[in-house]
Amino acid sequence: MKLRVLGCSGGIGGRHLRTTSLLVDNDILIDAGTGVGDVSLAELMLIDHIFLTHSHLDHICSIPFLVDTVGGMRNKPLTVHAAEPTLEIMRNHVFNWSIWPDFTQVPTPANPFMRYEAMELGQTIELKGRKITALPAVHTVPAVGYQVDSGRASLVFTGDTTTNDPLWKIVNKIANLRYLIIETAFCDRERDLAIASKHLCPSLLAEELAKLECNAEVFITHLKPGEIELTMQEIEDCAGQYKPRMLQNNQVFEF
């Protein structure tokens, strides 16, 4: 299994800053931020599934353009997997004919360009031997993270989250965990903002990583532009024992 980072920034502003999206092999997206726009048309046509962590714009903004671009070129609908509250937000506020066409009805309800599939917390979906499991997240809207399991090893992506004890109870039971991608959106001088917006800052990250009981390579995502160097230095100062590294756009994980 191969996972390629299409975007991992908390904002935009240059060719290396793309918002959250991870491409699994060539047919699965986890979130669909601005990084999807860098993918070729031929690659876009191969994407069959999108797993959403939550409904915030930086994680969903490419879905309308993706479906509009390739829907008529495909012979089956693109499936959007998410918790039911997230799908409800998508129905009501994005694909609602006011913001964008409802592609679950286009070109016909019987033969749409897109379909929704609700996913329960803890549910595992298996696609060609790859298992994707919804994990708990704590954010300002209903949210999940994901475990991606190739059979040989697992990668956990927390999605956007703050302090999250239920996550670690599950993660610590993943025997084949190899990689942990965890967010840290703000530097410590903005700790109050991180708490209010239910994100992590370096001091909160250190408290969360202290709950990790198994060995894994730790990567930091969702850093805010303009604060990247400061935040990574603060992470090194307070959580350096976990050897966290900054996730990079176009980074590839094979597991």
pLDDT tens digit string along 177-206? Answer: 999 999 999 999 999 999 999 999 999 999
N-terminal to C-terminal alpha carbon distance within the chain: 5
Write down the residue that tokens 């800053």 correspond to.
17
Give the residue from 178, 183, 181 showing the smallest Cα distance to 138: 183
167: nearest Cα among 147, 142, 185, 184: 147
Say how many C-beta atoms besides its own lie within 10 A of residue 35's C-beta: 26
* Residue that the structure tokens 């991608």 belong to: 181
Q: What percent of the chain has pLDDT over 90?
A: 99
pLDDT of residue 14: 86
- Mean pLDDT across 132-140: 98
Mean pLDDT for the chain overall: 98
Query: 50-108: per-residue pLDDT in tens?
Result: 999 999 999 999 999 999 999 999 999 999 999 999 999 999 999 999 999 999 999 99
For the chain, which domains are there? Answer: 2-254 (3.60.15.10)
Q: How many other β-carbons are positioned within 10 Å of the β-carbon of residue 249? A: 17
